[in-house]
Amino acid sequence: MSSRIRIDADSAVPPYEQVRGQLAGMIGDGRLPVGTRLPAVRQLAADLGLAVNTVARAYRELESAGLVQTRGRHGTMVAPGRDDATDRLHRAAAGYAAEAARLGVPPDRALALVRAALNAGTPG
């Protein structure tokens, strides 16, 4: 799996967000189906040449979003129970995040734009 994740050291997107975004995309489009066990944090960090805390933060954010669940010694797995609306919204969010990164928009600014759109009650 780590061979599918690419970290761009020159990107304005922080490494934890690159890991989170790529894993979220793989979960969202089914490349990582429900029940798939993710590599241990230390293993993925070593494979990608990142700090353990960087990968741990990505995993925590995926867990907060309900995309993965951690079961102690059993590791971190892709979580069940996502519905179609959540999957579709996740794919849209992943696309938005990728486009923001491509355009060089910092994550905090991209989030502010989403918040403003949500607060206005209008799409996009």
CATH code, domain carrying 111: 1.10.10.10
Mean pLDDT, residues 96-101: 88
pLDDT computed for residue 17 by the predictor = 94
Q: How far apart are CA 37 and CA 49, in angstroms?
A: 20
Mean pLDDT, residues 44-52: 97
Instruction: Look up the domain containing 51 and give its range.
Output: 2-120
* Dihedral sign, Cα of residue 90, residue 59, residue 77, residue 99: positive
pLDDT at 29 over 90: no
How much is the pTM?
A: 0.68
